[in-house]
Amino acid sequence: MPLDLTQLLLISFRNLAVWLVVLAAVFVPLERAFAVHRQPAIRPQLIVDIGYYFLTGIIPTVILAVPLAAIAAMARQIVPQDYYLWIAAWPTGFQIIAAFAVGELGFYWGHRAMHEMPGLWRFHAIHHQPTRMDWLINSRAHPIDIIFTRMCGLTLVVVAGFGSPGSGSGSLIPIIVLIGGTFWSFFIHSNISWRVGWLEPILSTPHFHHWHHSRDDHVNHNYASILPVYDLIFGSYHSPRGQWPPSYGIAPQNRPEVLLAERYPELEAKDDGGSRETAA
């Protein structure tokens, strides 16, 4: 008997609850032992971020399944079948590595668009509001933010021939990319001081991503979630040795309403006119 929507949501909620316990069991002790900043695990807005964890864990997954399956089906009508047979013949490990590289390219530009387009920044800014970093900050995001950036990355993955979640193609590679990328996102947001030496231009770390959350110094850098090489290629890399951001959050001049007013002054003028008419 097929499951109804309520049952599926309950199962998703249960699975997310289990993963929340696992993530806490992993990251809370590590943040205590290898902290960048000494800070308590219990903090203001902890419950809010737990709420975001469940919200962004359920809604984007439900919404993305259908369009990704449709994109994969359309791609297979356009791209020669021989290409997909060639991809399928690759060793599984190589397919996974290639899928991460392809998906990360899409995620990079989707994430960068979230910062450079004021209309999208208004959604992504929620993620940059916190003034401290820890593993659960990864969950502080608007569903539209998550849907847009994942769509940018996973679209390239499925068009490149690595299957589609829920498409019935039998390929688990996009799901591996999604799960692996999500876990790594919790790691790079964590308050952990681990570095990887000469691998840092290749593999992201908390040091790399903390600079992405910098409030005043070198904002709008380090968009990659796993592969900083894309930031090196496209000129957005910043990872000074031995230095961490002096502060986190959003500076007043970078708040969404300020940037929207600068980009679209006619909207502000219209709002002012409407306010004067109302006052009159």
Distance CA 243, CA 44 (A): 26
Q: With a cut of 50, say whether residue 166 has pLDDT above it.
A: no
Q: What is the pLDDT of residue 271?
A: 56
Report angle CA 239, 206, 51 to the nearest 5 degrees: 135
Q: What is the pLDDT of residue 165?
A: 46
Q: What is the pLDDT of residue 99?
A: 93
Query: pLDDT tens across 207-235, in order?
Result: 999 999 999 888 999 999 999 999 999 99
Q: Are 52 and 140 in contact (CB under 8 A)?
A: yes
Contacts of 274 (CB under 8 A, 6+ apart): none
Give 214's strand partners. Answer: 248
Query: pLDDT tens across 99-156, in order?
Result: 999 999 999 999 999 999 999 999 999 999 999 999 999 999 999 999 999 999 999 9
Query: pLDDT tens across 240-273, in order?
Result: 988 999 999 999 999 988 888 887 776 655 555 5
pTM: predicted TM-score of the whole model, two decimal places: 0.88
Distance CA 162, CA 280 (A): 61
Q: What is the pLDDT of residue 272?
A: 56
How confident is the model over 64-75, as a mean pLDDT?
A: 87
Phi-psi region of 244 (alpha: psi -120 to 50; beta: other; left: phi over 0): beta
The residue ranges of every structural domain in the chain are: 5-34+41-249
How confident is the model over 169-196, as a mean pLDDT?
A: 87
Contacts of 93 (CB under 8 A, 6+ apart): none
How confident is the model over 66-72, as a mean pLDDT?
A: 86
